[in-house]
Structures are given as C-alpha cells and as structure tokens.
Amino acid sequence: MTESAVPVDVERLSGIDPAAAGQQLNDKIGMKLLEATAERVVGTIPVEGNLQPYGLLHGGANAVLAEALGSTVAALNAGPDRAAMGLELSCTHHRAVRSGTVTGVATPLHVGRGTITAEIVLTDDEGRRTCTARLTCVVRDRPPGA
C-alpha cells in the first residue's frame, strides 16, 4: 500500500456528469484512494477536519468513507457498461477516534447481476477496528450515451 492517491477515472467508474466531478464529498473529507481493484479497495481520511462537537471522528465521516469505498468496489465489479448505486448502508461504530488517520478496506461479499454487497472495515492508526459497514448497491445498465 502506498501513501499516494490512486488516480481513478471517475467518468468510467460512475458515469457522472464531468461538471459534478469537482464537487465530490470524498474531496471535502480529504479521502485518498490507495488501492482499487475489483477484489479490494483501500482508502483513508484524516480525523482532523472531520470531527463532531465532542472532538471525536464524526460517524457521518465513517459513513462517507465506507460508502465511497464500497461504491468503488461495486462499480469495479459491475463493469464499464453498468452503474452501481448505493441502496443500503449500515455502520456499526466500535471505537472512537480522536486523531490520526482512519483506513478503510472494502471487499465484495456478494456480486450478482442486480446487486453487489461489500463489507467495509475501518481501522485507526494502530490497526484497531473502529467501524464495520455493509453497503448494498443496485446494479443497472447504463442508458446509451450516459
């Protein structure tokens, strides 16, 4: 695993409007993508800048990281002519994080024609599990020209 971000062709993965590419929530939380394959997607976020009022990492930041990584693994498994969109996300927050970096690893649990489910495990700098998430994406054919 490297410390530099992996370039990802956002249009190829998601088919989003290029005007929306510069408005991604992932950028706002400081997410870095470190590894991206159909079997495993790894990314990080800093705790600093993503706090709730008590000085802990915000649970919503965990959810954003989990959905971003899970959606990416789903998109890579769906293929270039299909779109994967989040259908259900569940997060269990196990441990508070006050500083450093949180790392997430998304792996597919189920890859089907209509849905893809991923497990996302988030850990702190000491490798302790801080959150376990599960994301199910619906998979649809892309409309022609999309």
- Identify each DSSP E strand in the chain by its residue range: 32-36, 41-46, 82-93, 101-111, 115-123, 129-141
- The catalytic position among 39, 67, 88, 119 is 67
Contacts of 65 (CB under 8 A, 6+ apart): 29, 31, 43, 45, 102, 104, 120, 122
Amino acid at 64: V
Place of tokens 């890859």: 111
Cα first-last separation, the chain: 33
Give me 101's structure tokens. 């970096």
Does the annotation count 39 as an active-site position?
no
**Which residues are identified as catalytic?**
67
